[in-house]
Amino acid sequence: MGQSNIGVPPFSADYRAAGILLHVSSLPSRYGIGDLGPQAVEWVKRLAHAGQSCWQVLPLGPTGYGNSPYQPLSSFATNTLLVSPDWLVEDGLVQPGDTEHEAFAKAEVDYGAVVPFKTRLLDKAWENFKRGAGADLARGFEQFCRDQDHWLADYALFVALKAKFGGGHYLDWPTEFIRREAGAMLRARRELADQISRESFAQFLVFRQAKQLKVRAHRRGVTLLGDVPFFVSDDSSDVWAHPELFLLDENLRPQFVAGVPPDYFSATGQLWGNPVYNWDALRASNYSWWIDRIRAVLVHVDAVRLDHFRGFSAAWYVPAGSATAVNGTWEPGPGEDFWRVAHKELRKLPFIAEDLGYITPDVYALRDEFHLPGMRVLQFAFDGHPDNPHLPENYNANTVAYTGTHDNATTRGWFEALNAEQQDKVWLQLRRCGARSSEASRAMMEAVWSSTAGVSIAPLQDLLDLGDEARMNVPGHPDGNWRWRCTEDMLHDAAFEWLGDLTGEVKRSKPSRVRETEVVAAASRGPERSRAQT
């Protein structure tokens, strides 16, 4: 397809682009959760009209514990809660009446209501498909199952078994299923054949819709920026199907779990609980699972933010069973060896390194050796030190700069939590002395947009000047996160007109659009498998 619309890193001094961070689930929708259909297309149009080059989303995997997109049930599957009911109707798989429902909450995702609604809708689509509805999709579904068999067969069985055993953690299943004994697997595939096919069909549908959205975004000159969690969930098909790739004990339980030591967000660190990798086993397979994982994400997006990039250099290992993340140790990751293989296999590295938190020189060296742009967050800039890397005057072109991220308070919420002296320091640094707190979000956006960073991004909440009620996630607090949604009436024209004016003034308006024929051809191709995959 050629170069993506936000450019292929490293970003040069004359490259300037801008975008908005908003997860798909946060889009307006009458179905209780944002989805990949018409509202997402309208969102892309709105971004393009405001001169934006990029739409950044959070990980798109199927969410498990706490509804966190950073704890997906699979590194390869896509979250079927994001399927568009409207596009299911267009495909003839359900009738308009099937999408009727009681009113959902408008300003948040009520997962307790959304999950059963989407489940019933996909069940209906599957039953109708078996009876001949959407017959023109049959060949595509068969091809999808063949192309994705290296992960889909295990994932669909994992989901079917999880339902069979009441939705609990897979380590609570009968031992023969935990250990994937051959006889048990054969019986399960026979007994659960319809459920397995139904889940495979649901993945086909959501992949198909994601591809349609990507094509339409490209037609508008908008690039999709995705996200890859560094670790995987302990309750995932990844660990169940490939226990040899993780440091597990004789009972297939993690020996260590991932986290980070005490930092800006938490005095006791963050105990994520993810199993850690067996890098020796991954290295022996030429990192094929990891490379295929990246390829799977790049089917849906054009470039990827690598969450917890520092884990490629070293990660914080906490003994399993610890109450906090305080007593961990730094253990080496694969380092430059992985990135040499990734460059050979992928041919280009369309990645952004999330290099926030406790970062040591070796992490920066690894990032810079492969010319990966790093991240800067303006909310972290105001400690009084002139060499603070988050100050705009210290950015370089190969940087993606943010007002805040999904883990931060909204800029208005952050600013209003500062005391008067701290607020004065922020205004002094921004050269806006005497301004009101209601001006903080736009002042911060102006500073990021005016900087030398190759790409500037703000969460939608900052563009709309929303407070703490709109925060997406509070790190270290497992409950109540990932629910925020915007409503249609929040997306008023005045905010996007201001955004378009700012973007034009600082010369960040979106580059020329990719030729539509190239986009359609690229989007029609499925993900390539790693040559090292067995």
Tell whether 49 is covered by a domain.
Answer: yes
Strand 374-377 relative to strand 399-402: parallel, antiparallel, unpaired? parallel
Q: What residues are annotated to the active site?
A: 307, 354, 407
What are the Cα distances from residue 424, in Å, to 393, 440, 451? 19, 11, 21
CATH number at residue 451: 3.20.20.80
Q: pLDDT (tens digit, 0 to 9) for every residue of the chain, 534 residues total?
A: 334 456 778 898 889 999 999 999 999 999 999 999 999 999 999 999 999 999 999 999 999 888 999 999 999 999 999 999 999 999 999 999 999 988 899 899 999 999 999 999 999 999 999 999 999 999 999 999 999 999 999 999 999 999 999 999 999 999 999 999 999 999 999 999 999 999 999 999 999 999 999 999 999 999 999 999 999 999 999 999 999 999 999 999 999 999 988 876 678 888 889 999 999 999 999 999 999 999 999 999 999 999 999 999 999 999 999 999 999 999 999 999 999 999 999 999 999 999 998 899 999 999 999 999 999 999 999 999 999 999 999 999 999 999 999 999 999 999 999 999 999 999 999 988 877 889 999 999 999 999 999 999 999 999 999 999 999 999 878 889 999 999 999 998 999 999 999 999 999 996 533 333 333 333 333 333 333 332
Tell whether 372 is covered by a domain.
Answer: yes
Q: Which residue range forms the structural domain that includes residue 184?
A: 17-523
For 348, the token pair is 């280009």
Tell whether 64 is covered by a domain.
Answer: yes
Sign of the CA dihedral 386, 391, 392, 397?
positive
Dihedral, CA atoms, 289, 294, 296, 299, nearest 10 degrees? -160
Tell whether 510 is covered by a domain.
Answer: yes
Tell whether 381 is covered by a domain.
Answer: yes
Strand 54-56 relative to strand 17-21: parallel, antiparallel, unpaired? parallel
Tell whether 4 is covered by a domain.
Answer: no
Strand 256-260 relative to strand 270-275: parallel, antiparallel, unpaired? antiparallel
Provide the residue type at 300 as one letter: H
d(CA 148, CA 400): 32
Tell whether 406 is covered by a domain.
Answer: yes
DSSP letter (8 states) at residue 456: E
- By residue count, the chain amounts to 534
pTM: 0.93
Nearest to 5 by CA among 69, 46, 56: 56
Residue 350 sits at φ, ψ, to 5 deg, of -80, 65
SS3 content of the chain, % helix, strand, coil (to 5): 45, 10, 45
Nearest to 338 by CA among 279, 255, 271: 279
CB 306 within 8 A of CB 353: yes
CB 196 within 8 A of CB 276: no
d(CA 314, CA 412): 34
Tell whether 5 is covered by a domain.
Answer: no
Domain count, the chain: 1
- What's the start-to-end Cα distance of the chain, in Å? 28
